[in-house]
Structure 1
Amino acid sequence: MRPPLAVSGIDGQTDLKLSLQQPQPQPQPQRVMALPLRPSRRNPRQILPQGKSPTIQPPFPWATNHRATIHTLKHLAETGINVVSGDVQCKRCNRQYQIEHDVKSKFLEVSCYVKENKYKLNDRAPASWLNPLLPNCRYCGQENCVKPIMAQNKKSINWLFLLLGQMLGCCTLAQLKYFCKHTRNHRTGAKDRVLFLTYLGLCKQLEPNGPFDR
């Protein structure tokens, strides 16, 4: 038998109440959209192309095993390196030979000029650096005609020789940017700006505690 219905009378009217349980809607699972992963930001200057080692065979006794990096003056003195040499070629007679620079005296010339004029230059190399006065040829006697011979491989550039002879302006913009890239320097802009940073960077390598910061 069916159970009796609940009957209640209100003001003479009959109110039938049926207790029915309505099914509750099931919650729908929320869809979470997966955001694309952002590649981690890494300094491109610290990433070498695949297959390149972070260290190299030092191309010169005064160079370290890191690209575009030379030893300090203290290290050079302690190891008895007082003179550096570099290959040059006359633009007139095409003779090739070597020139030597005294490290102490030549660096004194460069460093004194930098210390006295660093803030006047406004981060730009002067004309004497951009178009350096070249040595005279010891064979044909032609003036201002002996240029440094640049290594085809940038890692073998004789940076210290170029600095002491104030011939860094003979480098191409690409070669100067190579130096700035591997010495953690800003390397965009015109050649006079990148050349200025190269001079400061090499002076800083020779004398780390010197006033050669920008």
Structure 2
Amino acid sequence: MLNCLIIDDEPLALQLLEDFVSKTPYLRLAGKFEEPLQALQVLKEQPIDLLFLDIRMPDISGIDFYRSLPYKPEVIFTTAYSEFAINGFELKAMDYLLKPISYEKFLTACNRVNDFLAARQLKEKKEKDYFFINVSHKMHKIFFDDILYLEGYKDYTKVHLSGSPNPLLILHNLKYFEDLLEDKEFIRIHRSYIVSLRKLNTISRKAVSIGNLQLPVSDNYRDGFFALIGEHAK
């Protein structure tokens, strides 16, 4: 879901964009304003992903307003004046919509923003090499590369770490960690176990080893596990 703001000094244009936002499933309207400076408080208090910003306005242009922002969300400029398009793209705007705006063009521009932000988020997730998690009322920093395997116990998970004799007992089920560790070279091999591919020493049809420890590979997870192993063997 993308949080968005609409800033346009024309009430009819403001209403049209609000209607377009309401019918676009992945957009959530965080606010709408006829004067840019009125939007500053929302921009300070809420994480805004996307601005729909009119360019020609009485007190300050959309271009100058956007330049003034310390944190710049993605922006789609809207205007009735095509000569402003070059200035908009100089600011690396995601798109430029010429009024009157059709929903088809609006949706095309929004899809571009949504795809761009999703790709960036995935890239950041892959590059990040650690996470923080609450353990006994303290936040622990865990590096992905330190994890040997995870062991599920109903609503809890034991996280076994290299160099640590005792696992961390965490109040999250194994599915939570399965989602968290997606794309991090971890794989579920059993309803009770997730393993790090980097830490595996040997692999057989029914078990894997991490050091001297043997962990079972169950029938339900075997095909997915060996498919992933096959990808890494190429």
Greater helix content: 2
> Please, what TM-score do these two structures have when normalized by structure 2?
0.22
Greater strand content: 2
Tell which has more relative contact order, 1 or 2 (C-alpha 8 A, sep 6+): 1
> Please, what TM-score do these two structures have when normalized by structure 1?
0.24
Structure label with greater radius of gyration: 1
